[in-house]
Structure 1
């Protein structure tokens, strides 16, 4: 039975209405007109409608981009209100820069979930897919060590052999899932399952491939999947 997560005592004591009033007060530090004036001034300095990243890098802008989004819902909605043309097209280089900066923030290659969690702060996953064909291809072009195509299965088999040595037997799906929770660079168990695409029994087919790799490395694997190390 999973224990309910205990909240910090300070969180338990928060007055919901007082918190809402506090947040509202913070938002009132800038009026909508003040924010729109900031956007127009930044566009004039830049010579074009600013992206959120360009606005954040503008040393003369005093409003944070997140404040703009909180007031207007989205970055482009704010720019339209300011009479500025939203920049519908982001260059390939700009997309790659966004991915690299997100990777620096995370300390690893970004995932789809990471991108979706930053909706409004960076390009959409659909634009990345449209531009590069897949997130994996985009990440590889951005300089991340991300296998694509046949490389993905090859990497998964190699990772499976390493995990099998750690476990002393061929990895089960639940064990792979647990390993990935410790090492997010691993593919998910379902990515591996779908990639093998041998039905029925895709995971056992993957275990077979791992066993063959171990045999190549001189490791004997018993019928029940145990390794003779």
Structure 2
């Protein structure tokens, strides 16, 4: 299974109430009118309505994009309040950059859930799908290690063998779902189901493939699916 990223010890000790008070203090540093003035001034300098990335890169802008979002909810809502037209078009290069920056923030390959949780901060998943054809294609173009086709199934089988050794038996669909909740680098149970493409009984077919892999590794799998400890 994928390696869990270790949280920095300082993050474990953050007091939620103190953090909320700190953020509220930051918000009080700027009025809504001051932020809207910053947006309008940046638009004048750029000659167009700025994207979040352009505003962050504007050396004369005195407000961080995240502060804008904290005040107005979304980037486009702030631009509308400033009388600026939200830009509907985001280039392929900008989308790739957004995915790379998200990956750096997370310390791993982004998932659909990560993108959905950042609505307003980055492009929608529908725009990414429309531009690249799939999230996997977009992630590969952004430089992430994203398995496709047979490679995805091969990785799923390898992950299934690891999970089977941990559980002591071939993983059930619900157990795989639980494992993915702990490790988002795993494919979802439905992605695995569709990759196997054997009907009826796609999941049992996947378990069979996992049992074959375990046999290849010298580990016995009994008829009831239990795995003998090596």
For the criterion TM > 0.5, the same-fold answer is: yes
State the structure with bigger RCO (CA 8 A, min sep 6), 1 or 2.
Answer: 2
- 1:16-27 correspondence to structure 2 within 5 Å: none
Deviation at 1:34, TM superposition (A): 2.4
Structure 2: tracts of 5 or more residues without a match: 1-14
Give the Cα–Cα distance (whole angstroms) in 2 for the partners of residues 145 and 166 of structure 1. Answer: 25
Structure 1: tracts of 5 or more residues without a match: 1-9, 13-18
> RMSD over aligned Cα, in angstroms?
3.1
Distance 1:201 1:59, change over 3 A: same
Distance 1:180 1:80, change over 3 A: closer
The aligned counterpart of 2:129 is 129
- 1:171-186 correspondence to structure 2 within 5 Å: 171-186=171-186
Give the Cα–Cα distance (whole angstroms) in 1 for the partners of residues 166 and 82 of structure 2. Answer: 59
Distance 1:71 1:221, change over 3 A: closer
Report the TM-score, using the length of structure 2 for normalisation. 0.77
* Bigger mean CA offset, 165-174 vs 127-136: 165-174
Give the Cα–Cα distance (whole angstroms) in 2 for the partners of residues 152 and 130 of structure 1. Answer: 22
Give the Cα–Cα distance (whole angstroms) in 1 for the partners of residues 45 and 106 of structure 2. Answer: 32
The aligned counterpart of 1:94 is 94
The aligned counterpart of 2:161 is 161
Report the TM-score, using the length of structure 1 for normalisation. 0.77
Distance 1:78 1:194, change over 3 A: same
Deviation at 1:94, TM superposition (A): 1.0
